[in-house]
Amino acid sequence: MDEFERQLSDVVLFELPSFEDTQAFRIRFRPRWPGWSIADNELWLFAVDLMEASDDLPTLLHEAQELLAERGLPGIRFVLDGRVYELDPAEPVYERTAKKTTVA
Domain ranges of the chain: 3-87
Q: What is the pLDDT of residues 31-81, one digit of tens each?
A: 889 989 998 888 899 999 987 666 789 999 999 999 999 999 999 999 998
Quote the pTM value: 0.78
Give the helix/strand (H/E) hosting 84.
Answer: strand 83-87
Query: What is the band of 3 on the pLDDT scale with cuts at 50, 70, 90?
Result: very low
Buried b (16+ CB within 10 A) or exposed e, 28-61: bbeeebebebeeeeebbbbbbebeeeeebeeebb
Mean pLDDT over each residue of the chain, to the nearest integer: 85
Write the class of the CATH domain 3-87: alpha beta
Q: Furthest-apart CA pair in the chain: how many Å?
A: 78
Question: What pLDDT is stored for residue 58 in this prediction?
Answer: 92
